[in-house]
């Protein structure tokens, strides 16, 4: 049986101050894989390479036996073709769209089609699942941090992706809210049976969410724990 995730990634970055290299190999069947490490370890760049937002210099990416990227053959699926939902650290909600419109946007092919999908059954379903019915017509600046995260998750999941990629999802929240939302995310992930890769520098996130953890340091694997 093929591994759920199987990837080898190499990427070099040159700045005025230093050269930074990412070299990472992973083969795992974990439902919830956490990339753990300090700021500057290369976690976000790894996640963006998996999502197709950044192109590796060399390597390959396979998910559930399907090839997403292979530098040897020049094969590379676009982010849309990979069917992986990416949730940015700051959620990246559209400020001029309501909660309903933000969630519906993932179902829209164009900006002009977004209003047509506000009442799509899947949008209404995710509005209820995330307990956002009361704020459906509000705008991002009117939401709490927890509500903003739920909107970002709903927008990511409404398109029924094959996996969920999360960039420091709790970093901007206060400690009391983090504990509740970790549990909500873990429960939701198990209910949907959707594979997840999450990056964090928080040991509490690792303890609450990881089936397997890869500790990154300076772009390379420092340790792996199951």
The pLDDT > 70 percentage for the chain reads 90
What is the pLDDT averaged over residues 114-142? 82
Average per-residue pLDDT for the chain: 87
Both tokens of 185, joined, read 């995310």
What is the pLDDT averaged over residues 134-155? 89
Helices 145-157 & 121-129, crossing angle to 10 degrees? 140
Cα 104 to Cα 13: distance, rounded to the nearest angstrom: 36
pTM over 0.85: yes
154 Cβ neighbours under 8 A, 6+ residues apart:
103, 126, 127, 129, 130, 132
pLDDT, position 116: 56
> What are 35's strand-pairing partners?
199, 214
Distance set, CA 66 to CA 2, 63, 159, 162, 217 (Å): 9, 5, 19, 11, 28
* Residues 163-221 pLDDT 10s: 999 999 888 777 878 888 888 889 989 988 999 999 999 999 999 999 999 998 876 77
pLDDT category at 111 given cuts 50, 70, 90 is: very low
């Amino acid at each position: 049986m093929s591994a759920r995730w199987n990837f080898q990634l190499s990427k070099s970055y040159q700045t005025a101050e230093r050269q930074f290299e990412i070299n990472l190999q992973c083969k795992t069947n974990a439902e919830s894989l956490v990339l753990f490490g300090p700021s500057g370890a290369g976690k976000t760049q790894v996640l963006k390479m998996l999502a197709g937002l950044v192109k590796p210099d060399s390597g390959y990416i396979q998910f559930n036996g399907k090839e997403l990227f292979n530098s040897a053959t020049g094969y590379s699926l676009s982010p849309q073709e990979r069917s992986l939902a990416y949730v940015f650290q700051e959620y990246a909600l559209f400020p001029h769209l309501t909660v309903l419109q933000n969630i519906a946007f993932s179902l829209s092919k164009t900006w002009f089609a977004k209003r047509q999908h506000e009442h799509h059954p899947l949008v209404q379903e995710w509005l209820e699942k995330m307990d956002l019915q009361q704020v459906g017509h509000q705008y991002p600046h009117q939401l709490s941090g927890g509500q903003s995260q739920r909107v970002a998750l709903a927008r990511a999941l409404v398109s029924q992706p094959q996996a969920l990629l999360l960039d420091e999802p709790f970093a901007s929240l206060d400690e009391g809210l983090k504990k509740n939302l970790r549990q909500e995310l873990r429960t939701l992930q198990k209910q949907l049976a959707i594979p997840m890769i999450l990056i964090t520098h928080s040991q509490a996130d690792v303890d609450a969410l990881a089936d397997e953890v890869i500790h990154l340091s300076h772009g390379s694997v420092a340790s792996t724990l199951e």
